[in-house]
Amino acid sequence: MKIALSTVLIICLLLFNHLLFAQQDTIVVRKNIVKFNFTSIVLQHYSAQYEHLIGKRQSLGIGFGVSPNVSIPFKHTLLEKYGGSDDTRRAIEATKLNKISITPEYRFYLGKKDAPTGFYIAPFARYMHMEIDQDYLLTTEDNSLYVAHVNGKLNGVGGGILLGAQWALSKHFTFDWFIIGPFIGSLHSSIKGTGDMSNLSDDDKAYIKDEIESVDIPLWDINATVDNDIVDIKVKGPFYGVRAFGFNIGYRF
């Protein structure tokens, strides 16, 4: 009887030991999170991010954003300074851009808990691409109307540092808060206006060139060429911004 009882106890202990280690072997480490930024919708910017854990306190991520038909950068500054002309004001207000952005980042989590929860600091890079393609209505010196078609591309590369915090809402859902993340970079663009401008006088062409090149944006370099069938504008300078107050809901798997 004693031998039988001890045998049963040993079997139970072995079974318990096996079940314990079997449970440990089947623990799922969810290293991937896909997130969507809800607050950016207010600014007509739609963005998502993928984050992958690479250590107890580290992760890599990449974000993708798109902004269809948004206003030009520095719109209000340009209106205040150059909005006295009807043509200029109309052009500034009518200009819309399609923008995409790609943002790779490295995160280091600062809290006692393992990633991806707690406060973090995240150096990041940003690539930005914008396109414009539309018509403008202009008035010449003899008060006749002229339609110019404009298309162009703007590309920028920069970087910054983001401070944020992330919480686990459940096994599968997270809440990620972009607290503040200033960034700065370099932007260059080529913008071309096409059409038959052979009827414009030399004074009209010179006026268009001067108006374009007189736009005063600090640290920007603007050069314009006005010909009979094209206006070619080259722009180069810094761009800057802030990733801030972004609320992201993520799915972890």
Domain ranges of the chain: 30-252
Query: Which one of 2.20.25, 2.40.160, 2.40.50, 3.30.70 gives the CATH number of domain 30-252?
Result: 2.40.160
pLDDT at 22: 43
pLDDT in tens, 220-252: 899 999 888 888 999 999 988 999 989 999 999
In whole angstroms, give the CA distance from residue 26 to residue 36: 29
Burial of residue 122, with CB atoms counted within 10 A of its CB: 0-12 exposed, 13-18 middle, 19 or more buried: buried
The β-bridge relationship of strands 221-226 and 96-109 is unpaired
Q: Name the pLDDT band for 2 (thresholds 50, 70, 90).
A: very low
Whole-number average pLDDT of the chain: 84
In angstroms, the CA 231 to CA 222 distance is 13
Give the number of residues written for the chain. Answer: 253
HSE of 3, CA atoms in CB hemisphere, 13 A:
0
Question: Which pLDDT band, with edges at 50, 70 and 90, does 39 fall under?
Answer: very high
* pLDDT at res. 207: 85
What is the rounded CA–CA span in Å between residue 157 and residue 128? 6
Residue 82 confidence (pLDDT): 66
What is the model's pLDDT at position 26?
44
Mean pLDDT of 87-98: 78
SS (H, E, C) the chain: CHHHHHHHHHHHHHHHHHHHHHHHHCCCCCCEEEEEECHHHHHCCEEEEEEEECCCCEEEEEEEEEEEEEECCCHHHHHHHHCCCHHHHHHHHHCEEEEEEEEEEEEEECCCCCCCCEEEEEEEEEEEEEEEEEEEEEECCCCCEEEEEEEEEEEEEEEEEEEEEEEECCCCEEEEEEEEEEEEEEEEEEEEEECCCCCCCHHHHHHHHHHHHCCCCCCCEEEEEECCCEEEEEEEEEEEEEEEEEEEEEEEC
- pTM over 0.85? The answer is no
